[in-house]
Amino acid sequence: MNPAKSQVEIEYCNQCRHMLRASWMAQELLTTFADELSSVALVPGSGGIFEVRMNGQIIFSKKDAGRFPESKELKQLIRERVAPMTGAKI
């Protein structure tokens, strides 16, 4: 594992059956950021949780936003952290 690469965790509510959404998001992120991410981990949770963390920092919370993240939105949040100087939009 390259220490310069970032790690993403997607914690999802297992009881709410959010695993399919979480795994689809993980695939999208791994495909888009193959060179920038060392891993995307799926973390089962409960209580309706759907949080995305990058290097331990929450970058999206369903609880705070009141909704699930859009794929494009999540990719932009990650792009801002892995390549902040490019200003590239996805």
Separation CA 25–CA 68 (nearest Å):
11
Fold of 6-82: Glutaredoxin (3.40.30)
What average pLDDT does the structure give for the chain? 92
What residue segments make up the domains of the chain, in order of their start? 6-82
The string of pLDDT tens digits covering residues 4-39 is 799 999 999 999 999 999 999 999 999 999 999 999
pLDDT value of residue 84: 76
Structure token pair of residue 32: 């888009």
